[in-house]
Amino acid sequence: MATKVKLREKKISGKRQSLYLDFYPAIPHPKTGEPTRREFLGMYLIDKAKNTIDKQHNKETLQLAEQIRQKRENYLNKPEIYTGYEKEQLKIKEQGEQNFVAYFKSLADKRKASNYDNWVSAYNYLETFTKGKLKFADLNEKFCNDFKEYLLTTKSNKSSKTTLAQNSVVSYFNKLKAAIKQAYKDGYLNTDLNGKIQTVKQAETQRNFLTIEELNSLVKTECNNPLLKRAAIFSALTGLRFSDIKNLVWGELEYIEGNGYFIKFKQQKTKGVEMMPISEQAYSLLGERKEPTDKVFEGLNYSAYENRHLAKWIGLAGIEKDITFHCFRHTFATLQLSKGTDIYTVSKMLGHRELKATQIYAKIIDKTKREAADKIKLDF
C-alpha cells in the first residue's frame, strides 16, 4: 500500500502556523522506530498575513514545504527515483533533529570509574544549560562558546557559594569537545566542529609536598590510623596513587634475585602495565606476606572522616602545610628530582604518559632552589 503524505498546518503561539507532514499509514520514526503519523518541518507561516512581506514569506515557505513533501513521498513510495545525494541529505536532516544531550549521556554511560564521574558531572552542567534539549543541527561555534562562558561563570554544584574551579571547567569543556568529535565520527555532524573550538586554558595548580625532614618527622609521629600512615609513607617512597595502593594485591609483588623488589600491576588511571622497582624500606612497610589475591593494604579507605586522622597526624608532626594523601605522590616526585634523578626516569616511575605531566615538578624544584638561594642575605 502506497504511503500518502499531506502537508498540514497547526496553530501555535505568536500568531504562527507550524507546518508538518501527515503520513498515512504511519511510518517508523527515524529515531525510536515507533509508528508515527507526523513529521514537523521546523517551518512556519504567519497567520492571517496582511502585508506584502508576510504574504511573500508564506508563499515561499509553502513552496519549499511542498518540495519537501514531494521528495518525502517519493522516497517512501519510489525510493529508486531518489538520488544518492538526496538520500544522504535526508539522512543528515533526520539525524540533525536528534537530541545531542541524550547522545552525550549515552557516551558518559560507557565510561568507567573516575572518568565516568567526570563525564556525568559534565553532563549535569550541559543538561542544566540546555534544559535537556539541543538538536545536533543547532550545534555550532556560538553554542560551544556560550557553554564555555556558562562554565566559567556558573556556581559549582558542590557549593553554591563558589564558581567552578578553572581546571574543572577545562575538564568539562573537553568532554563536550570529545562528544562533538565522536558525533562527527558517528555521522551526526557533517563538519568537524571540534577542530574549530578553542579549549579553556588550564590553570597551574598548587602542588604541596613534604621535605625529607618533614617526611622523617611523620615517620616518627604516631597516627590514629596506622594503616593510613603506612599507606601514605609507602606512597612517598613509591609515587603510587591512592587507588593503586588500595587495589594492590600480594601477587603483584615480586622479588628478583640481584635486582630487588618489584610491583607488576596495571595502573587504574592510565591502564598501563608497569614493572616498577621499589626499595626495601618500602617493602618493609607491607607486613607479613599473604595469599596472591589478598590485598596488601586490606581495609584501607580514604574519606572525609579518614582525612581528619591524616590532618591530625600532619599537625602533630609540626607541619603547617595543607597536605592531602595525593601530596605524598608529589613528595616522591619532588624528592627524586631534588636528589638528581632525571626527569624521564621519574616520569616512568609515576606512570605518566607524557613528559609534560612531570615537568610541573621540575618547576617546583626550580622554585625551591630560588627560595633557598634568597635565604642568605648579608648586611650591605
What are 13-69's pLDDT values in tens digits? 888 899 999 999 988 877 777 888 999 988 899 888 888 888 888 898 899 889 889
Residue with cell 594492590: 248
CA 117, 312, 358, 361 torsion-angle sign: positive
pLDDT band at 155; cut points 50, 70, 90: confident
- Choosing from 42, 77, 96, the residue where a domain stops is 96
Cβ(339)–Cβ(237) below 8 Å: no
What's the CATH code of the domain at 316?
1.10.443.10
What are 295-308's pLDDT values in tens digits? 999 998 877 677 78
Flag whether 201 is in a domain.
no
Residue with cell 591502564: 271
Flag whether 366 is in a domain.
yes
Same domain, 57 and 81: yes
Cα–Cα distance measured from residue 194 to residue 196, given in angstroms and rounded to the nearest whole number: 5
Per-residue burial over 163-182, b = 16 or more CB atoms within 10 Å of its CB, e = otherwise: ebebebbbbbbebbbebbbe
**Residues in contact with 360: Cβ distance below 8 Å, sequence separation at least 6, in sequence order:** 204, 207
What are the residue ranges of helices labelled H in the chain? Answer: 52-77, 84-96, 100-109, 113-130, 141-153, 166-185, 212-220, 226-238, 242-247, 280-284, 304-316, 327-338, 343-350, 356-373
C-alpha cell at 132: 535537556
Residue with cell 574549530: 196
What's the CATH code of the domain at 136?
1.10.150
Flag whether 379 is in a domain.
no
Same domain, 272 and 306: yes
Flag whether 207 is in a domain.
no
Cβ(280)–Cβ(270) below 8 Å: no
Collapse the DSSP code of 155 into the 3-class scheme (helix H, G, I; strand E, B; otherwise coil) and give the result: strand
Same domain, 50 and 163: no
Same domain, 91 and 108: no
Same domain, 90 and 125: no
Same domain, 302 and 330: yes
Flag whether 380 is in a domain.
no
Q: Is the pLDDT of residue 201 over 90?
A: no
pLDDT of 94 reads 65
pLDDT of 259 reads 86
Flag whether 203 is in a domain.
no
Rounded mean pLDDT, 184-205: 80
- CA 376 and chain centroid, separation: 46
Q: Is the pLDDT of residue 207 over 80?
A: no
Q: Is the pLDDT of residue 357 over 70?
A: no
pLDDT of 343 reads 74
Q: Is the pLDDT of residue 89 over 60?
A: no
Peptide bond into 25 cis (omega under 30): yes
What value does the CA radius of gyration of the chain take, rounded to a whole number of Å? 31
Rounded mean pLDDT, 163-185: 89
C-alpha cell at 99: 537530541
Flag whether 205 is in a domain.
no
Residue 120, domain extent: 100-196
Same domain, 277 and 350: yes
pLDDT of 95 reads 65
Residue with cell 640481584: 258
State the average pLDDT for the chain.
82
Q: Is the pLDDT of residue 368 over 70?
A: no
Same domain, 223 and 367: yes
Query: How many domains in the chain?
Result: 3
- Choosing from 166, 196, 226, the residue where a domain stops is 196
Helix (H) or strand (E) holding 26: strand 16-28
Q: Is the pLDDT of residue 355 over 80?
A: no
**Higher per-residue confidence, 206 vs 70:** 70
Cα–Cα distance measured from residue 71 to residue 66, given in angstroms and rounded to the nearest whole number: 9
pLDDT of 358 reads 60
pTM for this model (two decimals): 0.48
Same domain, 177 and 165: yes
Same domain, 185 and 219: no
Same domain, 126 and 275: no
- Name residue 210's amino acid: L
Lowest mean pLDDT among 201-205, 230-234, 319-323: 201-205
The interaxial angle of helices 226-238 and 212-220, nearest 10 deg, is 150
Rounded mean pLDDT, 323-348: 82
Q: Is the pLDDT of residue 283 over 80?
A: yes
Flag whether 10 is in a domain.
yes
- Choosing from 41, 66, 96, the residue where a domain stops is 96
Same domain, 92 and 109: no
Rounded mean pLDDT, 263-283: 74
